[in-house]
Amino acid sequence: MSFATTKDGVQIFYKDWGPKEAQPIVFHHGWPLSADDWDNQMLFFVAKGFRVIAHDRRGHGRSSQVSEGHDMDHYAADASAVAEHLNLKNAIHVGHSTGGGEVARYVAQFGQTQGRVAKAALISSVPPLMVKTPTNPGGTPVEVFDGFRTALAANRAQFYIDVPSGPFYGYNRPGAKPVQGTIQNWWRQGMMGSAKAHYEGIKAFSETDQTADLKAITVPTLVLQGDDDQVVPYENAAVLQDKLLAHSELKIYKGYSHGMHTENADAINADLLAFIQK
């Protein structure tokens, strides 16, 4: 197993596949998952000749289950530790959901200043701000996130069945055909991580204002989201990201769920590849 060590001593697990001289694509996973959530994309892009890297966020997957640092600043710094450890250059950073917030902060605060980033992609991502506030009236009420915390603390194992069985992949929609393996894999990844990291991560992904991060990004950025995303409403996420980013390309998919990179991997992979090859 491969690990990078952060400045505060946290061991961050990562996968690193493909030719070391090839252009790297770095994948950043969503809450409360792991690098394994990108298996489809990793296999697809390594077969196309890219070097593919994915890491487990602190407190998630195989990384250290530390007590502190479950916030967007540490997430971005940890991603930077992996990029520096591997000396990645000319990289494309791809983030899903919370991982999209991690990408935005990493690119804005580390990747661009270090000259390591070529492009970025935000998929069903949380920026600029999820929670409803007086200045963000289209956001999700904090009571929804309080409900997440209550459910996680009461019975995390059951909560991690309910989320993928319902809104995450749109399996609660009429006519949907739930894939049991997908649900079980979501549960498996979630239960590998730390309950404390996941509990505190809810605040990180819902209450971190990343407007400034998006405005600071100058590299070309692809923004992808489904219009049936029940976790991160697209009109308060992808649409606003596109407006705040300097050089963005926006695509909204009709009927796609929050977990569209899994449910609709062929379409997402093709669009990522086309963007990367431009």
Q: Catalytic amino acids?
A: 97, 229, 258
As a whole number of angstroms, the distance between CA 219 and CA 213 comes to: 12
Residues 6+ apart with CB under 8 A from 246: 215, 217, 218
SS3 state of residue 75: helix
CB 228 within 8 A of CB 173: yes
> Which is nearest to 105 in space by CA: 140, 135, 74, 60?
74
SS3 state of residue 259: coil
Alpha-carbon torsion, ordered 129, 131, 133, 139, to 10 deg:
80
SS3 state of residue 269: helix
The CA angle 161-73-113, to the nearest 5 degrees, is 125
| Residue 177 buriedness (CB in 10 A; 0-12 / 13-18 / 19+) | exposed
The alpha helices in 109-225, defined as continuous H runs, are: 142-165, 180-192, 195-207, 211-216
H helices, E strands: number in the chain: 10, 8
